[in-house]
Amino acid sequence: MKSIARLKNPVMAYDWGSRTLLADFLGRKAPLDPDAAEGPKPEAELWMGAHPKAPSRVETNGEWAPLDRVIEKNPADCLGPETAAKRSGRLPFLFKILAVEKPLSIQVHPTKSQAREGFEKESGQGVPLDARDRNYRDKSAKTEIIHAISPFRLMAGFRPVEDIVKNFQPCRSKALEGALSGLEKRPDPGGLGHFYRSLMTLGAGARAGVIQKAAAAAADSPQNETSRWVLRLHKLYPGDMGVLGPLLFNLIRLEPGQALVIDAGTPHSYLEGLGAELMNNSDNVVRGGLTSKHMDIPGLLKILDWKTGPPLPAAPEKIGKHERVFRANRQDFSLSVLTCAEKPLAARRRGPEVLLCVEGAAKIISGGAPPLVLKKGRSAFVPARAPGYAVSGPCRIYKAGLAGPV
């Protein structure tokens, strides 16, 4: 495969998704689900890539085929010889659009060594890859870039210790006193680790008491942003320790066009909004709250990064007047935003790419092939050995690919 081709992408339905956000972005009506009495299922994620769980389908010779199978048959053409060898014939990244109407689970992703260890341990225990209680479904690390399409709210990373101590004062109880006093005496990563471990391993009665105290305190100051989120989470997930997340983690609002890098080990939860997410081609996740799915608190504690303070929005690298590039720390993928006028703009590239039009209509001109037009919400795969290409608009497109130009 050596030419740019259209993609058809799977939509994943989860409880936290939206019945309108993704449909509006794709320019279509929300699909009806005749089996759901309450209406259509929430659409949560649009996947663009070659993950075997839900690969995109790519148009080749007038037919549609799963992208992972196409890459498997033509790794050097699709990925380039170097990437094909380095990544064992796998596309190194997975690109998504997230439509968040209800908060996602509080979760953490592993480093490469943690993923390899976790995968081998669970495989050795005979846990099926599709088992509900499986955390590690592959051996890949997972770092994420989240780029806001609409205003996007999330929790990410631990607050400064002094803020955590202050936030938990209304929650003081006999069960929590020792851990909270210990954090006051030792306001460092070690003290935070001891406090969080103690909090997450409280008995059922003590947990309920702490949550009720936090909700009562929030109800006394509902105008406060932290309080508003405690109350909303308490309503959505009563009895879940994730209700305490706003007291522990930084509350962040990304404006459209801003991005944040979520490193492995960083606790986070996406709260609401429409965003583009680029990550390693991995489905590894360890959850610690705000979910009915499998949670693994001991496993979560093992891979958490105890760094404190709010993460700063990623600073894009400006390439000329038309391109902004967001890079993930120590990762070999990047997310570019291209703003194109009617005059064709020659694209800088390195290896395989996924293109997604998010505004206007993009005309992709490559070699002697007929122009490929992508309207808003439409995407294409660019094989590594495809001829160079140019984009004309007016349009705005995402370009998910490897870090750095050729």
In sequence order, what DSSP letters do the residues of 7-52 get, joined into one string? Answer: EE--EEEEEEEESSHHHHHHTSPPPP-TT-TTSSPPEEEEEES--T
Element (H or E) spanning 189, and its range? helix 189-200
Residues 97 and 38 in one domain: yes
Burial (CB count within 10 angstroms: exposed 0-12, middle 13-18, buried 19+), residue 312? exposed
Residues 24 and 150 in one domain: yes
Residue 310 is assigned to a structural domain of this protein: no
Mean pLDDT of the region 95-100? 98
Q: Which one is catalytic: 287, 324, 349, 396?
A: 287
Question: What does the radius of gyration of the chain's CA atoms come to, in whole angstroms?
Answer: 22
| Residue 146 pLDDT | 98
Residues 146 and 56 in one domain: yes
pLDDT reading at 32 higher than 60: no
Residues 30 and 121 in one domain: yes
CA 353/CA 43 separation, integer angstroms: 25
The alpha carbon of 93 is separated from its chain's Cα centroid by a whole number of angstroms, namely 12
User: Which SS3 state, helix, strand or coil, does residue 270 take?
Assistant: strand
pLDDT reading at 406 higher than 80: no
Mean pLDDT of the region 261-267? 96
Residues 107 and 18 in one domain: yes
| Residue 38 pLDDT | 57
Residue 312 is assigned to a structural domain of this protein: no
Residues 99 and 213 in one domain: no
| Residue 36 pLDDT | 52
Mean pLDDT of the region 171-191? 94
Residues 110 and 137 in one domain: yes
116 is catalytic: no
Residue 258 is assigned to a structural domain of this protein: yes
CA 309/CA 283 separation, integer angstroms: 27
pLDDT reading at 35 higher than 70: no
Domain membership of residue 168 as a residue range: 160-249
Flag whether 268 is marked binding. yes
Contacts of 16 (CB under 8 A, 6+ apart): 42, 44, 100, 101, 102, 103, 104
- 81-87 long-range contacts, CB within 8 A, separation 24+: 83/351, 83/352, 83/384, 83/402
Flag whether 107 is marked binding. yes
pLDDT reading at 252 higher than 80: yes
How long is the chain? 406
Taking only the tens place, the pLDDT of each residue in 295-321 is 999 999 999 999 999 988 999 999 989
Q: What is the CATH number of the domain that holds 219?
A: 1.10.441.10
Residues 227 and 362 in one domain: no
Residue 381 is assigned to a structural domain of this protein: yes
Burial (CB count within 10 angstroms: exposed 0-12, middle 13-18, buried 19+), residue 351? buried
Read off φ and ψ for residue 80, nearest 5 degrees.
90, 145
Residue 308 is assigned to a structural domain of this protein: no
Q: What is the CATH number of the domain that holds 297?
A: 2.60.120.10
pLDDT reading at 329 higher than 90: no
Residues 55 and 43 in one domain: yes
Read off φ and ψ for residue 359, nearest 5 degrees.
-160, 135
Element (H or E) spanning 212, and its range? helix 204-220
CA 254/CA 237 separation, integer angstroms: 24
Residues 216 and 271 in one domain: no
| Residue 88 pLDDT | 87
Residues 138 and 287 in one domain: yes
As a whole number, the mean pLDDT across the chain is 93
Residue 26 is assigned to a structural domain of this protein: yes
CA 125/CA 189 separation, integer angstroms: 32
pLDDT band at 56 (very low <50, low <70, confident <90, very high): very high
Amino acid at 245: G
Query: How many domains does the structure of the chain reveal?
Result: 3
Percentage above 70 pLDDT, the chain? 97
Residue 360 is assigned to a structural domain of this protein: yes
Question: How crowded is residue 28: how many other Cβ atoms within 10 Å of its Cβ?
Answer: 10
Burial (CB count within 10 angstroms: exposed 0-12, middle 13-18, buried 19+), residue 235? exposed
Residues 245 and 257 in one domain: no
Cβ–Cβ under 8 Å, residues 324 and 336: yes
pTM of the predicted model, to two decimals? 0.93
